[in-house]
Structure 1
Amino acid sequence: MALERRKYVGTFIHSTSLTDLEICEEATIGVDENGKIAYITRIGDEKSTSEDWELFQTTKLDGNKFFFPGFIDTHIHASQYPNAGVFGKSTLLDWLNTYTFPLESSFSDTAIASKVYSRVVARTLSQGTTTACYYATTHVPATNILADICLKRGQRAFVGRVCMDRMSPEYYRDESTESAIADTRSCISHIRSIDPSFDLISPIITPRFAPSCHRATLAALGALQKETNLPVQTHISENTSEIALVAELFPEADSYAHVYDTAGLLTPKTILAHAVHLSPAERQLIKSRDAKISHCPASNTAITSGRTKVRELLDEGLTLGLGTDVSGGHTSSMLSEAREALFVSRHVAMTDGDNAKLAVEEALYLATRGGAKVVGLESRIGGFEVGMDWDAQVVGLGDTVGTDEIDQREGLLEIFGKETWEEKVAKWVYTGDDRNTLAVWIKGRLVHKRSGFNI
């Protein structure tokens, strides 16, 4: 159904490069009936739009509010959402067996799947996440429910049925290579039936990680990718024990990355989560295949996997975005993940020097434009340009403080009135939360609005 044209007036902020944020005050963006940006007028621009636009509704911001692109979560396990914040003292492999596999296996019950998936989609939307790369479980009905919920709520999503036929409990694994491929095809067919052009919801081929799949299964998934040209998501080099396990299970491979490359799974449409301990040869291989990386700093810290040297990866020309990696990561908030990326970079800088530090501008780029490149949609989402989809959020920083009275509903972020816009953005990144997300649109459709905010 076509939308009504609408104008958005106020301050717009978005990344124009890794290091630069464009801040446009008193600007106007017109969004057409297809949810795409039709025009942008900045201060000083000559009016270039038809008078017809004057007839359409306007959302106008004032005070400490601004429009910002929607966040893009390049790695999140939707099925693990109930365990967010629960990881004990485990490292990766122990954590999977203790917490993750028992939870995921329960999604054979579609009532459980529906409840959890409805909640995680609602929560991520409320936090400004307009695009998410979701891992589901091995269950076909439950995976299809996740796709249905994303479509109904209007969230742009890549939905992957997890493939795994070894290194997991017998009660929770694929029976064979053939069943893994058949069930994956079933989920692809379902998504094609509800969104034939994959315009909003796309299937994504999802081998959990190399140790959880036999060689034949990895190769079959690689062949499926070549046949369908669908994106791929998996994990790589999250921690040293995992890397040692890969070397034991695949002794013929030169490296972890080589395992995927041999199977045909290292492609320009592949998203590799974590990539904490890549060797120089692996980084070069990944770059040569134009595969992408999802940096998950909160999870890497929580499960003590390691510190990704993001500056090194960026300097070598690799493409990165951010992922929350719920429930290895403790929160589904991409704003929080940007903050975690900043802090982890500072820990790296303590040993590698100040150049390792990320700036606020860089963290926000990774959460938007970088993520858009990771999911292959950089021409459609991640910023504000004519022809791009209106995937956007309104960020409200609250009124300028005037008394010593604290209103808990407004969160921790406080504006005192002398801050520049750059300083306000920094305060949002370091002290903000979902209470500052006032409204969210995807392809021009309003998908979330905080109570009390008038559109």
Structure 2
Amino acid sequence: MAIAPPPRPAPPLRRRAFHGTLVHALSLTDTEYLHDALLGVDEAGVIAFVDKGVSSDKVEERLDERGWAQAQVVRLAKGELIDTHVHGPQFVNLSYGQEFELLDWLDQVTFPAEAKFKDVAYARRTYEDVVDRLINSGTTTACLYGTLHHQSSKILAAVCHRRGQRAFVGKCNMDRNSPPSYSESSTERSLANTEDYVAFVREHCNSPCPPSSAITSSKRSSAPTSLVQPILTPRFAISCTDECLQGLGDMMDRDEHLPLQTHLAENPSEVEFAMSLYPGVASYTAAYDRFRLLRHNTVLAHCVHLSDDELDLIKARNSGISICADSNFNLRSGTARVTDMLDKGIKVGLGTDVSGGLSLGILSAIRATSTASKTICFHKRDSPSSSPLPAPSPDDSAVGPDGVSRPAGFFAQKHLSLSALFYLATLGGAQVANVDERVGNFLVGKEFDALLVQTAPSSSMANGSSAASGGAAGEDVFEDELRAALEGGEVKQRGEAFNPALLTSEDEAIERVFEKFLFSGDDRNLGSVFVRGRVIGGARPLSA
């Protein structure tokens, strides 16, 4: 069957310069707030320069000095900021079924829903909506599971490609221990369809990064730069035969740039089932390693029930872990040892895991991960058998996934900080997806994947009072305000970015506003969503 040629490449971008406050992650303990910053994005969607401390009246002069006089200037008003936003796996099912634990949830909720995607018309309608919601909830990069249907999975990749979302999209492999109505007919067919799917994505969803003078030859990598890339997706060891996993390992041997995503140790029943299939293997993690599936570009979702030996093996293979705290709470799976993972230097990012997780968007993952880390602290504090952790010793250090050396056990001492959570949601996610050389923060030479965040001040939180608080004038003001409270009065119009849960005032420091956004913001506060410098969505997207 002939396939229509892919759409023509998008026209070159117009140069843009953003002036205002920028926020990005430098490390697990360092969030940088750039005030009066001037950031230039070139025609390739790559960050060409970041100048700090440029006053508003000097913007045009600085751009002229750089030869950027014709660039479009986007001025970020007080209460607006940009942050990068990358995360791990997303599922495309609807969010319900919370009364089940994992294996029953798969049988009763997920497998019947996924079986519907045999209908390619249904798949396209659904995936159009899913990708639109992902983008507008702030997802600039997603590791997406499709279904076992290679045709429907092609449609998912094609929708991501057309919309300009950065995505790793996989066709599931499921050739055993699956319902008769939702299982692949044979291992040979599973592997053949996977190879056909990979070839399709690389040919028809190809959008490599255009040349940019901001990327020096020394920084250029041989890895593919297309926004949409295929990713091998064995659902988990339970649903894949040894021959299937062996075949996927062979594909990775032949192509070092072919990534893989799967599930690992999400639920105790799952772990028990998996180990019954591999009685001679030391652990669930070792079963994957037996087939050479643990690599630098492997994404392991959940990892709730892992031993220290398994974490050490993941670290040795340089694989990444996607923490899906909301899903782990919802399906009663447990809480992943994220601080231990960081102390071991393992790459960690955040995932929403819809529909195990109940919310789209990385903001929900930040909040759930924060709660999970605090829950672990509670258990350590309240357990009768627990003993206080020894204070970190500077003589016994470890290097974290951000490359920074810290005392051993540094992260295990307390719950995750705001900087650590923000790192996991941005640069940490980029590391797990193996794209941290290209996205994740605002360093020159990286592609501009970002969110334009708008936090309109509440009318009730304006600067100060119109009169002194004491004396006769103060009494007069009180009488006026009391009368207005009783009878009603003029109220300042709410801004377009109004979100009833996010209350900010005009005089609040950006650090305070940023924390409020992470824990109370939503899609109404996301004015524009950028991928590779191009606006692909948002509540009030900037014009091209």
Which residue of 2 is the match for residue 438 of structure 1?
Answer: 527
Is 1:223 matched up with 2:239? no
Match of 1:270 among 290, 294, 298: 298
Is 1:429 matched up with 2:439? no
Match of 1:199 among 226, 229, 237: 226
C-alpha change, 1:373 and 1:131, in structure 2 (3 Å) is: same
Deviation at 1:452, TM superposition (A): 8.1
Deviations 1:46-72 (A, max 9, x none): 958745312121111102110111x22
Contact 2:455 2:497 in 1 (8 A): no
Which residue of 1 is the match for residue 363 of structure 2?
Answer: 335
Match of 1:77 among 91, 97, 105: 91
Q: Counterparts in 2 of 1:354-393, with a 5 A limit?
A: 355-393=413-451
TM-score of the pair, normalised by structure 1: 0.95
Counterpart-to-counterpart distance in 1, 2:178 and 2:538 = 41
Deviations 1:206-234 (A, max 9, x none): 00000001111111111111112200000
Counterpart-to-counterpart distance in 2, 1:117 and 1:232 = 21
Which residue of 1 is the match for residue 190 of structure 2?
Answer: 180
Counterpart-to-counterpart distance in 2, 1:206 and 1:160 = 5
The one-letter amino acid paired with 2:373 is: S
Deviations 1:105-133 (A, max 9, x none): 00011111111111111111111111000
Deviation at 1:453, TM superposition (A): 6.7
Which residue of 2 is the match for residue 209 of structure 1?
Answer: 236
Contact 1:127 1:333 in 2 (8 A): yes
Deviation at 1:352, TM superposition (A): 2.2
TM-score of the pair, normalised by structure 2: 0.80
Counterpart-to-counterpart distance in 2, 1:17 and 1:61 = 25
* Structure whose CA Rg is larger: 2
Which residue of 1 is the match for residue 79 of structure 2?
Answer: 64
Deviation at 1:201, TM superposition (A): 0.7
Deviation at 1:198, TM superposition (A): 5.2
Counterpart-to-counterpart distance in 1, 2:192 and 2:32 = 47
Bigger drift between 384-393 and 45-54 goes to: 45-54
C-alpha change, 1:380 and 1:452, in structure 2 (3 Å) is: closer
Counterpart-to-counterpart distance in 1, 2:331 and 2:156 = 26
Deviation at 1:454, TM superposition (A): 7.3
Is 1:348 matched up with 2:379? no
Is 1:8 matched up with 2:18? yes
Q: Counterparts in 2 of 1:195-344, with a 5 A limit?
A: 195-196=205-206, 197=224, 199-229=226-256, 230-344=258-372
Is 1:410 matched up with 2:498? yes
Match of 2:179 among 157, 166, 169: 169
Contact 1:39 1:49 in 2 (8 A): no
Contact 1:92 1:239 in 2 (8 A): yes
Contact 2:299 2:319 in 1 (8 A): yes
C-alpha change, 1:48 and 1:55, in structure 2 (3 Å) is: closer
Counterpart-to-counterpart distance in 2, 1:216 and 1:270 = 19
Contact 1:167 1:211 in 2 (8 A): yes
Which residue of 1 is the match for residue 155 of structure 2?
Answer: 145
The one-letter amino acid paired with 2:531 is: I
Match of 2:113 among 78, 83, 103: 103
Give the secondary-structure state (helix, strand or coil) at the position aligned to 2:238.
Answer: helix
Deviation at 1:88, TM superposition (A): 3.2
Counterpart-to-counterpart distance in 1, 2:72 and 2:64 = 15
C-alpha change, 1:161 and 1:94, in structure 2 (3 Å) is: same
Counterpart-to-counterpart distance in 2, 1:348 and 1:417 = 36
Counterpart-to-counterpart distance in 2, 1:34 and 1:418 = 37
Counterpart-to-counterpart distance in 1, 2:427 and 2:24 = 9
Deviations 1:265-290 (A, max 9, x none): 11111100000010111011111111
Counterpart-to-counterpart distance in 1, 2:318 and 2:540 = 43
Give the secondary-structure state (helix, strand or coil) at the position aligned to 2:69.
Answer: helix
Contact 1:77 1:135 in 2 (8 A): yes
Deviation at 1:323, TM superposition (A): 0.5
Contact 1:346 1:357 in 2 (8 A): yes
Give the secondary-structure state (helix, strand or coil) at the position aligned to 1:54.
Answer: coil
Deviation at 1:199, TM superposition (A): 1.1
Counterpart-to-counterpart distance in 1, 2:311 and 2:64 = 47
Contact 1:309 1:356 in 2 (8 A): no
Counterpart-to-counterpart distance in 2, 1:357 and 1:93 = 30
Deviation at 1:416, TM superposition (A): 2.7
Give the secondary-structure state (helix, strand or coil) at the position aligned to 2:27.
Answer: coil
Match of 1:93 among 93, 97, 103: 103
Counterpart-to-counterpart distance in 1, 2:35 and 2:543 = 20
C-alpha change, 1:203 and 1:92, in structure 2 (3 Å) is: same
Deviations 1:348-378 (A, max 9, x none): 1102258240112111110100000001111
Contact 2:148 2:171 in 1 (8 A): yes
The one-letter amino acid paired with 1:161 is: K
Which residue of 2 is the match for residue 27 of structure 1?
Answer: 37
Counterpart-to-counterpart distance in 2, 1:98 and 1:159 = 25
Which residue of 2 is the match for residue 115 of structure 1?
Answer: 125
Which residue of 2 is the match for residue 450 of structure 1?
Answer: 539
Q: Structure 1 regions of 5+ residues with no counterpart?
A: none
Contact 2:497 2:525 in 1 (8 A): no
Contact 2:114 2:147 in 1 (8 A): yes
Which residue of 2 is the match for residue 132 of structure 1?
Answer: 142
Q: Structure 2 regions of 5+ residues with no counterpart?
A: 1-10, 207-223, 382-411, 462-484, 486-490
The one-letter amino acid paired with 1:94 is: D
Contact 1:87 1:302 in 2 (8 A): no
C-alpha change, 1:233 and 1:3, in structure 2 (3 Å) is: same
Give the secondary-structure state (helix, strand or coil) at the position aligned to 1:326.
Answer: coil
Contact 1:6 1:32 in 2 (8 A): yes
